[in-house]
Structure 1
Amino acid sequence: MIVGSFPEMPCGVGDYTYRLVEALLRVDEGVKVDVVTSADSRVKVSSHARLVVHQVSNWGVRGLFSLMRMAARSGADVVHIQYPTKGYGTGLAPNLLPLFWYFYRPRMSVVVTLHEFTIAHPLRKLSTVFLILAPRRLVVCDLREEKALRHFRWPRGRPELIPLGANIPVWFKCHPQVREGDHLTLCHFGFLNKSKEGFLCVEALCRLWREGLPSKLVFVGGIKPEEEARLRALAAEKRVADLVSFTGFCPTDEVSRHLAQADIALFPFRDGISLRRGSFVAAMQHGLAVVTTRARDYLPPGLQDGENVLLAPVGDWEAFLQAVRRIASDSELRLRLGTNAKRWGAAFTWEAIARRHIALYRELVGVRVKGDGPK
Structure 2
Amino acid sequence: MRVAMVTGSYPPMPCGIGDYTAKLVEALAAIGVEVDVYSKNVDWSLFKAKQLVARIAASSPDIVHIQYPATGYGHKLGPQALSLLLKPCVVTLHEISQVHLLRKLALYPFAYGAEQLIFTSEFERRYSIKYAPWIARRSCSIPIGSFISVPAALCEKDLPDIVSFGLIRPDKGIEQVIALAALIKAKGLSLKVRIIGAIDPKQPAYIEKLRAESEALPITWQIGLTEPEVASILARSRVAYMPFPDGASERRSSLLAVLLNGVATVSTRGSFTTNELADTLAFADSPEQALQTISQILGQPARLDALARRAREYVQRRDWNQIASQHVKIYKNILL
- Asked whether the 8 Å contact 2:157–2:238 carries over to 1, the reply is no
1:260 maps onto 2:235 in alignment: yes
Count of residues in correspondence between the two structures: 327
1:311 maps onto 2:283 in alignment: yes
Query: What are the equivalent positions in structure 2 for 1:1-375 lying under 5 Å apart?
Result: 1-27=5-31, 29=32, 31-39=33-41, 56=42, 58-99=43-84, 101=85, 105=86, 108-158=87-137, 159-171=139-151, 173-176=154-157, 184-224=160-200, 225-236=204-215, 239-240=216-217, 243-295=218-270, 297-305=271-279, 308-312=280-284, 318-366=288-336
Distance change (3 Å), C-alpha of 1:186 and 1:227: farther
RMSD (Å), alpha carbons: 2.3
Distance 1:132 1:342 in 2: 35
Deviations 1:323-372 (A, max 9, x none): 34433454443232112211222111111001100000000111xxxxxx
| TM-score normalized by the length of structure 1 | 0.80
Deviations 1:277-299 (A, max 9, x none): 1111111110001111121x443
| TM-score normalized by the length of structure 2 | 0.88
Post-superposition shift, 1:221?
2.1
Unaligned stretches of 5+ residues in structure 1? 40-55, 367-375
* Paired AA for residue 232 in structure 1: R
Distance change (3 Å), C-alpha of 1:245 and 1:317: closer
Secondary structure of 1:222's counterpart equals strand
Secondary structure of 1:24's counterpart equals helix
Distance 1:317 1:147 in 2: 33
Distance 1:286 1:127 in 2: 37
- Asked whether the 8 Å contact 1:293–1:320 carries over to 2, the reply is no
Unaligned stretches of 5+ residues in structure 2? none
Post-superposition shift, 1:128?
2.2
* Paired AA for residue 194 in structure 1: P
Post-superposition shift, 1:211?
3.7
Secondary structure of 1:163's counterpart equals coil
Distance change (3 Å), C-alpha of 1:365 and 1:259: same
Distance change (3 Å), C-alpha of 1:321 and 1:133: farther
Distance change (3 Å), C-alpha of 1:188 and 1:63: farther
- Asked whether the 8 Å contact 1:202–1:234 carries over to 2, the reply is no
Distance 2:133 2:77 in 1: 24
Distance 1:317 1:123 in 2: 35
* Paired AA for residue 175 in structure 1: E
Post-superposition shift, 1:144?
1.8
- Asked whether the 8 Å contact 2:6–2:37 carries over to 1, the reply is yes
Secondary structure of 1:253's counterpart equals helix
